[in-house]
Amino acid sequence: MNHPMTIGDTSINELDRLAEIAEDVIRRCRAKGASEADVAASIDTGLSVNVRLGEVETVERTRDRGVSVTVYFGKHKGSASTADLDPTSIEQTVEHACAIARYTEEDVANGLADPALLARDIPDLDLWHPWNISAEDAIRLGVEIEDAGRSFDPRIDNSDGASVQASASLTAYANSLGFVGRERSTHHSLSCALIAEDAAGMQRDYWYDSVRAAGDFMPAIEIGRKAAKRTLARLSARKLGTRDCPVLFVPEVARGLIGNFLSAVSGGALYRRASFLVDHVGKRVFPQFMQIVERPRIPRGHGSTAFDSEGVATRDSDLISDGVLARYILGSYSARKLGLQSTGNAGGVHNVVVKPGSDDFAALLKRMNTGLLVSELMGQGVSLLTGDYSRGASGFWVENGEIAYPVEEITIAANLRDMFANIAAIGSDVDPRSHILCGSILLEHMTIAGDA
Amino acid sequence: MTELIIQAEQRLLRPGGLAAGDLDGIFARLMGPSIDAADLYFQHSRSESWVLEDGIVKNGNHSIEQGVGVRALSGEKAGFAYSDEIVLPALLEAAGAARAIAQAGSNGVGKPLSVASGRALYPAIDPIDTLSNEAKIAVLREVDAVCRAEDPRVKQVIVSIAATLETILIAASDGTLAADVRPLVRMNVQVIAEQNGRRESGSSGGGGRYGFPELLENGRAHAFAREAVRVALVNLEAVAAPAGNMPVVLGPGWPGVLLHEAIGHGFEGDFNRKGTSAFAGMMGEKVAAPGVTVVDDGTLAGRRGSLSIDDEGTPTNCTVLVENGVMKGYMQDKLNARLMGMAPTGNGRRESFAHLPMPRMTNTYMLPGQHDPGEIIASVKRGLYAVNFGGGQVDITNGKFTFSASEAYLIEDGKVTRPVKGATLIGSGPEVLTRVSMIGNDLKLDEGVGVCGKDGQSVPVGVGQPTLKIDSMTVGGTAA
């Protein structure tokens, strides 16, 4: 792909300006006696348009700026942030951070990243695709999406509207080891939420797409139509009786389950011993057929980045290999607390790829034969400390490999440890709209609570 | 109240060389063909937080945000722009962007500004300065020590304190000129206890719109510490929760999150104007059992969810949502009230200058009934007694809501017996309150830790209720 520079794109200059601010902040911290410091400076801009029932509802122009600084006086730490980038505010912010560091206590795990791990090459990951859509065109596009949904079926009798969002972010990160990293990325989304009604009542559902470059969107009218189909499918939902049965998570729900796993093997939960997966490196967590890998540098990836929020270089690395936990997800602080090395995950995971299986969605339904297809989860109800899992759910009852009827007002419960071990299959139907790339997940069984 | 205007003007407008008198000029730019209403929301927010973990005060953070949000309304349309620079050119640019929403139509004019005021429900203090840094550190250490002294099974303690001061100034084309200075403090305690290799957690906390001295008076910090330890120890003994439909008794106070999810959101004006709420068109109808009265009350002094004026300058109210089982009122902001031909109720709230206001809850609670809490529990043959909850969620349109228990017990033969693991409860908003069969005489409001999220915007809220018996709810455990 070529990288079309839009006319008037001043992002490179703005990034340079942010990098100058960041380096200036480091100098100010040094001047106040900080032994180490790091700073992130950012500007996010965007346009967000909502339309409803064929008319524009809101047009929002966004522009958020911020500087956040962390200082270390030996092993004492302080941090501060400001949304105001003028030199007086920045000087005050540095002073606040230093003042706080005078009161915090020594923590030997504190400090910047290991210099040997800092990113040296910063490749272009094809993340910068500004979408200079005008408010008028965004309104027209939103109306087109919503119309496609509203005209799909007469039972679609109301709407929560369609939205069109374009955004761009510029970030400069610098630390007192001399590292300066610049990143620019764009992110755009289209969505539509519709309401249908029958004698049993109203139902709402939605669909969306999320991309780095506007040219990668699925056809806009498909978003409206898909929202309509999903909404209609929920009409006249029933409850289920309490039972144990197989459960199939659709990809957008399945990735939440992978997200629970990622949280449970993240440094903060581990060093606090607040995870049911403490001391699990080298141990079996998933069935042997499962492979999960982090790939932080996928071009246009939703989580792609060349360096983490401490400047550490990102790289491809296994998380689950043949079902066994290969490593934890660590930044410098949690790594030191655990006597390990940063895995380039300060600020979280980048792109996580769950190796797809060979069954597509229809094949998974057949394989489940009779059970619950979960299309939406509600509420919190997940304890990473114990693995206990109990959440509100809605979806479809499946009989003989076919969707029989929609269900709602039920809960699904189990322990994550058992859920992970009981994964029977991963679908080939990978959802590309997230930094967690995962297909549907079939679980052997969970407890469904409902009527009686 | 003019005192507040002066204070807000000094903090928000003066640094950029502006004065309240300049705002008329901005409205001249904002108003015009087909603009019905417009407003400016100036905000300065300063926050500080400190965290203790592993027995040491590890980190502190200070942050400052400020800016102005500019909104122009035309019928149901809203144009919105904001700037983090409060200077005239930035304001005029934002005004130009906001008013681009309207292309043609009637001609609105701004009214001259006059001061609107609400009751002062909290002092105009900066809570960050109500305690020295040394004393803040000492409090964190003290709470850590209380937790650890409480029981040797306590292995991890995380204590945090946070304080925020928000100064806002609102000017609107309907003539509103209003200001507010809003302090907010909070303490959170989380412990992990371990026994025979099993680990469980407990948490507690509280706060409100006052300074640290009020947060710490009467041994409240120590009580948070002991409460967090108590919950963790209870959970060490918990067995699997039951699965299925059964009577549920909810304890007083924070379990009022039920009301917030089951009916609160469904009573917000925007969802009802659009007809997307499960409660749309049910005004005057029976939505709860006789004896159930629920209010949203922003006027309680010092409470976390309280506001002297909302974020549109409307003084807050005590709005009756359900009276003796009958749906009585919506929570409204100015836009939805105008479009529905109703009066605003002081529920127009926004996360910050960078967000559009919408109808939001303040403190939502149920009034007390006649029953002794012991009598309520004694009436249940087999059921769940849930006294602490994490968060909840609701689907406004079909009314289904969930909330997850963090401390619960079995009721067997009218007695509270074994603790059970946290389970999610699920129900239907329009149905659940019709199944309330007993209301306790022990109304309690929560300790002041609630955060409500809607459309990506978070605001502090409060909840409360007396002990309640719901004849049948679905409990999402794993035990038969």
pLDDT for A15-44, tens place per residue?
A: 999 999 999 999 999 999 999 999 999 999
Residue A389: closest C-alpha in chain B: B423
Min distance B301 CA to chain A CA atoms (Å): 31
User: Between residues 130 and 159 of chain A, which touch chain B (CB distance below 8 Å)?
Assistant: 135, 158
Q: Of A275, A258, A293, A279, whose CA–CA distance to A340 is shortest?
A: A279
The H-assigned helical ranges of B360-468 are 373-378, 429-432
Each residue's pLDDT tens digit, A75-111: 999 999 999 888 999 999 999 999 999 999 999 999 9
pLDDT at res. B265: 96
When the candidates are 3.40.50.300, 3.40.50.10420, 1.10.3470.10, 3.30.2290.10, the CATH number that belongs to A11-233 is 3.30.2290.10
* pLDDT score of A324 more than 50: yes
Q: Which residues in chain B land under pLDDT 50?
A: 104-106
Lowest mean pLDDT among A129-138, A360-369, B103-112, B231-240: B103-112
Q: Are B105 and A55 in contact (CB under 8 A)?
A: no
pTM: 0.95
- SS3 at position B131: coil
Q: Is B466 in contact with B446 (CB distance < 8 Å)?
A: no
Alpha helix ranges (H) inside B20-132: 23-30, 88-99
Say yes or no: A409 contacts chain B, CB-CB below 8 A. yes
Where does A157-310 have alpha helices with state H? 220-233, 251-264, 267-271
Mean pLDDT of A149-177: 97
User: Cβ contacts (< 8 Å) between B91 and chain A: which residues?
Assistant: none
- The set of residues, in sequence order, having a beta carbon less than 8 Å from that of B67 and lying 6+ positions away, is A83, B42, B43, B82, B83, B84, B85, B86, B352, B353, B354
pLDDT digits (tens, 9 = 90+) for A209-231: 999 999 999 999 999 999 999 99
Binary contact (B200, A386; C-beta < 8 A): yes
Domain with CATH 3.30.2290.10 in chain A: 11-233
Residues of chain A with Cβ-Cβ distance to B60 below 8 Å are 78-79, 100, 103-104
Does A99 contact B at CB distance below 8 Å? yes
Q: Residue A311: which of A107, A127, A65, A120 has the closest Cα? A: A120
CA distances (Å), B81 to each of A50, A136, A238, B473, in order? 14, 16, 44, 45
Contacts of B423 in chain A (CB under 8 A): 381, 390, 411, 413
A452 — pLDDT class (breaks 50, 70, 90): low
Cα–Cα distances (Å) from A179 to A120, A127, A169, A420, B397, in that order, read 9, 21, 20, 40, 50
Per-residue confidence band for A120, with pLDDT thresholds at 50, 70 and 90: very high
From chain B, the residues in CB contact with A239 under 8 A are: 474
Q: Which two tokens stand for residue B35?
A: 């603009």
Please state the φ and ψ torsions of residue B459, each to the nearest 5 degrees. -140, 150
CB B192 within 8 A of CB B162: no
Task: Please determine, for residue A4, whether its predicted confidence score (pLDDT) is greater than 80.
Answer: no
Backbone dihedral angles phi then psi of residue B325, each to the nearest 5 degrees: 90, -10
| Bridge partners (DSSP) listed for residue A56 | A51
How do A388-399 and A436-437 pair as beta strands? Answer: unpaired
A321 shares contact with chain B (CB less than 8 Å): no
pLDDT of res. B19: 87
Interchain CB distance below 8 Å, A390 and B428:
no
B12: Cβ contacts below 8 Å, ≥ 6 apart: B42, B43, B44, B66, B86, B167, B168, B169
pLDDT at position B103 is 60
| For range A423-444, the mean pLDDT | 98
Q: Which chain A positions have a beta carbon within 8 Å of B400's beta carbon?
A: 378, 392, 394, 408-409
What's the mean pLDDT when you consider all of chain A?
96
Contacting residues of A for B66, CB less than 8 Å apart: 83-84
Q: Cβ B398–A202 below 8 Å, yes or no? A: yes
ipTM reported for the complex, 2 dp: 0.93
- Count other C-beta atoms under 10 Å from residue A434's C-beta: 20
